[in-house]
Amino acid sequence: MDFFAQQDKARTKTVYLVLLFCGALVCITLAIFCLFSLVGQNQRDLKDLAWTPVLLVQCGLGTLIVVGLASLGRIASLSGGGSVVAQSLGGKVIPPTTNNPNEKRILNIVEEMAIASGTPVPPVYLIEERGINAFAAGYSPNDAVVGITRGCSEKLNREQLQGVVAHEFSHILNGDMRLNIRLTGFIFGIVFLSRIGHVMMRLSGGSRRRSSNNKGGAGLVIIGIGLFAIGMVGGFFGSLIRAAVSRQREFLADASAVQFTRNPSGIAGALKRIGGFSTGSKIQASDAGDYCHMFFGSALNSMFATHPPLALRIRKIEPNWTDQYPDTDGILEKADPQAEGIVGFAGSISDSSPKPRAKKKKAGNKVEVVDSKSFISSFTGPSQDQVKEAATLISLIPSNILFLSKEPFGARCVLLSLLIDSNDTKFRKMQIQEISSAIDQSTADLTGKVYLKIRKLNSNLKFVLIEQCAAPLKQLSNTQQKEFTRVAESLILVDQRIDLFEWSFQKVIDQHLQSKEIANALHGRSSLKSRLPECTLFLGALAHFGKNEGGPKPAFEKGFRALSRSRPANLPVRSKCTPEKLEAALPRLQKMNSMAKRSFLDACAKTAEYDGKIAEEEIQILRGLSSALACPVGPIIRNS
């Protein structure tokens, strides 16, 4: 599975759906035209209009406007972000500081999966339901949330939970949520017609009682009944289509879950436990019907099943399955508090005995150059290696720093501390001074302390830390966010220059905080050919900063050949490859279409990996670039 190909496929599917919807609109228009004409034939003031093109055009316009507006309204109200959905289902955010081992386990799994796939860590909601179920909601990876039921957290073991979470991440990465929201909106628009019909029936029913001989009233009733029927039939077929699409996406998500975790028994085991559970995957919340397509297992039983039958799903993963369900009612999984790293009082920064979170702890934070296995694999959704690597990377970060990065105040200090200059004491003093005057003394103190702990981390870990801080950062109020960006900027500019790390830091934070222009970047149309000079610049920068043996030229050419075979490859001079120049080239790169972005990032990976090693600067450029292009990229895997 490939992130770009999936996004493209989802987009093509959306185009089909829009065409299908247009077809439906034409049919509805014709039906309404016939309806009005039939009614109009018998009425004096409408007689001339019946069966004329003028009426046809009027009906078409009316239908378009009514259905279109209703659809847009519904889509807008559904696009309010994942948290709205989670809350309307009665979910509560699991606080990152939770001491409940089962809740902590879910948070850890979600965190590992997010870091492996390079998306911001989504907030996790716990829903107090006995059924085993989970959902992902949100319009884009940036406002996505993951929801898990209480039953899910207690009836599944760690690898099964991991399968479920991977399934949900596949929905997030594939853009399924957006597709579903649009479909739901369209269907609502069509069904809205029947509501209008209903209102007309009731209105004219009232007026008829007063003057029984009113022919117009009778006409209105017939039109009302007609509209009602048209809306209902349209809605019926719309729901069938939506269910069919949704079932396909479920199969895809199951397959992706196997791919992310390389562990078919995880997701299959979870599905089996649902099958063997008396409550199954049922959700009691009254709003569940609206959101049934988002869940892991089917929330309701109806003929419009949004999910394929359980047995079929299991058999697709395990063809040799013998139709045996475990007795889930008797199962109660308890997470191991030690392994999940419950932090009691160890959260304080002064605490001297941080508990290691993973069992194995690797030494060697000071890796200057990391060996890379394959960077390209990062673009195709997280691999099993990356999920494992994410857990290792998290374990390399001091646990008290991780603890801090889970709530807004600490996360802000951690992010600011990443910007503190490690070479020059003079600048460092100025920066701390700046924080204490722009914010307050306690923030400055904490930032200084955090800085001492994180200065030795390599870039790969620093970006993991930034991803960790992203979710709490979004909980800042607008005023606080503005203050943060302002202070961050002045810290960056204290030495009068922007280095590569600072540049990519800004790109990643921008993506998480405002992401307006980055949302636009999703809808680029330009071809690769028209953006070749900008691409060349980035490849040149990667080649120059790559510290390759044998100079930058061969690395650059390897990447450039992936972009264009016909044109001559002219390596840009090093002085041209500054963060300012890269920044200036970005807006044009963002306008590329997604396949062009894919080829470009592939080329970048080829250049970066040329000598089998990826330098710090290369990680920084790649991270900043992928953030700016809104293409999630996981951590770079080291050979160890």
Candidates 35, 70, 314, 464; binder of another protein (CB under 8 A) is 70
Candidates 41, 42, 97, 286; binder of another protein (CB under 8 A) is 97
Closest CA to 119 of 80, 177, 159, 158: 177
Q: Does residue 408 interact with another protein by CB under 8 A?
A: yes
Strands (DSSP E) along 290-444, which ranges?
369-371
Candidates 73, 101, 326, 554; binder of another protein (CB under 8 A) is 73
Angle between helix axes 3-41 and 176-210 (nearest 10 degrees) is: 10
Q: Does residue 135 interact with another protein by CB under 8 A?
A: no
| Residue 125: both structure tokens together | 């909601």
Catalytic residue among 129, 168, 340, 617: 168
Q: State in angstroms the smallest separation of the CB of 300 from another protein.
A: 24
Rounded Cα gap, residues 82 and 480, in angstroms: 22
Q: Does residue 93 interact with another protein by CB under 8 A?
A: yes
- 145: phi then psi, degrees, rounded to nearest 5: -130, 155
Q: State in angstroms the smallest separation of the CB of 627 from another protein.
A: 25
Contact between residue 230 and residue 194 where contact means Cβ atoms under 8 Å apart: yes
- Tell the burial category of 577 from Cβ atoms under 10 Å away from its Cβ (0-12, 13-18, 19+): buried
Q: State in angstroms the smallest separation of the CB of 69 from another protein.
A: 5
What single DSSP character describes residue 573?
P
Listed in sequence order, the DSSP H helices in 211-340 are 215-261, 264-275, 288-291, 310-317
Strand order in the sheet with 124-127: 91-93, 124-127, 145-149, 134-137
- 89: phi then psi, degrees, rounded to nearest 5: -90, 5
Q: Does residue 211 interact with another protein by CB under 8 A?
A: no
The one-letter amino acid at 333: E
Among residues 33 and 277, whose Cβ is nearest to another protein?
33
Residues numbered 349-368 forming contacts with another protein, rule: CB under 8 A: 349-351
Q: Is 91 helix (H, G, I), strand (E, B) or coil?
A: strand
Among residues 290 and 333, whose Cβ is nearest to another protein?
290
Contact between residue 148 and residue 93 where contact means Cβ atoms under 8 Å apart: no
Rounded Cα gap, residues 161 and 147, in angstroms: 12
The one-letter amino acid at 404: L
Angle between helix axes 158-174 and 101-117 (nearest 10 degrees) is: 40
Residue with tokens 């596949």: 170
Among residues 349 and 376, whose Cβ is nearest to another protein?
349
Q: State in angstroms the smallest separation of the CB of 73 from another protein.
A: 4
Going by their DSSP bridges, the two strands 145-149 and 124-127 should be labelled as: parallel
Candidates 371, 407, 489, 499; binder of another protein (CB under 8 A) is 407
Q: State in angstroms the smallest separation of the CB of 448 from another protein.
A: 14
Q: Is 631 helix (H, G, I), strand (E, B) or coil?
A: coil
Closest CA to 230 of 22, 31, 24, 23: 31
Candidates 265, 377, 395, 480; binder of another protein (CB under 8 A) is 480
Among residues 410 and 632, whose Cβ is nearest to another protein?
410
- Given the rule CB under 8 A, which of 20-28, 250-258, 347-355, 557-565 is the region that contacts another protein? 347-355
Q: Does residue 66 interact with another protein by CB under 8 A?
A: yes
Pattern of binders to another protein over 300-329, x per CB under 8 A?
------------------------------
Candidates 34, 46, 203, 438; binder of another protein (CB under 8 A) is 46
| Residue 376: both structure tokens together | 């390209």
Among residues 74 and 307, whose Cβ is nearest to another protein?
74
Q: State in angstroms the smallest separation of the CB of 299 from another protein.
A: 22
- Given the rule CB under 8 A, which of 404-412, 505-513, 520-528, 613-621 is the region that contacts another protein? 404-412
Among residues 415 and 586, whose Cβ is nearest to another protein?
415
Pattern of binders to another protein over 418-457, x per CB under 8 A?
------------------------xx--x-----------
Q: Does residue 496 interact with another protein by CB under 8 A?
A: no
Residue with tokens 């702890």: 361
- Angle subtended at Cα 431 by Cα 428 and Cα 433, rounded to the nearest 5 degrees: 110
Candidates 61, 244, 312, 584; binder of another protein (CB under 8 A) is 61
Candidates 92, 355, 456, 574; binder of another protein (CB under 8 A) is 92
Candidates 319, 345, 364, 496; binder of another protein (CB under 8 A) is 345
Rounded Cα gap, residues 256 and 171, in angstroms: 9
Among residues 36 and 228, whose Cβ is nearest to another protein?
36
| Residue 366: both structure tokens together | 């000071």
Chain centroid to CA 425 = 40
Q: N- to C-terminal Cα distance for the chain?
A: 26
Q: State in angstroms the smallest separation of the CB of 487 from another protein.
A: 14
Strands (DSSP E) along 392-456, which ranges?
none
Rounded Cα gap, residues 355 and 347, in angstroms: 10
Q: Does residue 479 interact with another protein by CB under 8 A?
A: yes
- Given the rule CB under 8 A, which of 6-14, 20-28, 81-89, 321-329 is the region that contacts another protein? 81-89
CA distances from 640 to 362, 364, 370 (A): 10, 11, 9
Q: Does residue 87 interact with another protein by CB under 8 A?
A: yes
Among residues 383 and 405, whose Cβ is nearest to another protein?
405
Q: Does residue 95 interact with another protein by CB under 8 A?
A: yes
What single DSSP character describes residue 572?
P
The one-letter amino acid at 283: I
Q: Does residue 142 interact with another protein by CB under 8 A?
A: no
- Given the rule CB under 8 A, which of 67-75, 206-214, 324-332, 544-552 is the region that contacts another protein? 67-75
Q: State in angstroms the smallest separation of the CB of 582 from another protein.
A: 34
Q: Does residue 56 interact with another protein by CB under 8 A?
A: no
Q: State in angstroms the smallest separation of the CB of 65 from another protein.
A: 5
- Has 517 been annotated as catalytic? no
| Residue 194 burial (CB count, 10 A) | 19
Q: Is 379 helix (H, G, I), strand (E, B) or coil?
A: helix
- Given the rule CB under 8 A, which of 3-11, 373-381, 409-417, 457-465 is the region that contacts another protein? 409-417
Candidates 322, 324, 478, 496; binder of another protein (CB under 8 A) is 478
Residues of this chain that bind another protein (CB under 8 A): 36, 46, 49, 55, 58, 61-62, 65-66, 69-70, 72-73, 76-77, 80, 83-84, 87, 92-93, 95, 97, 196, 345, 347-351, 407-410, 412, 442-443, 446, 475-480
Question: Which residues are designated catalytic?
Answer: 168
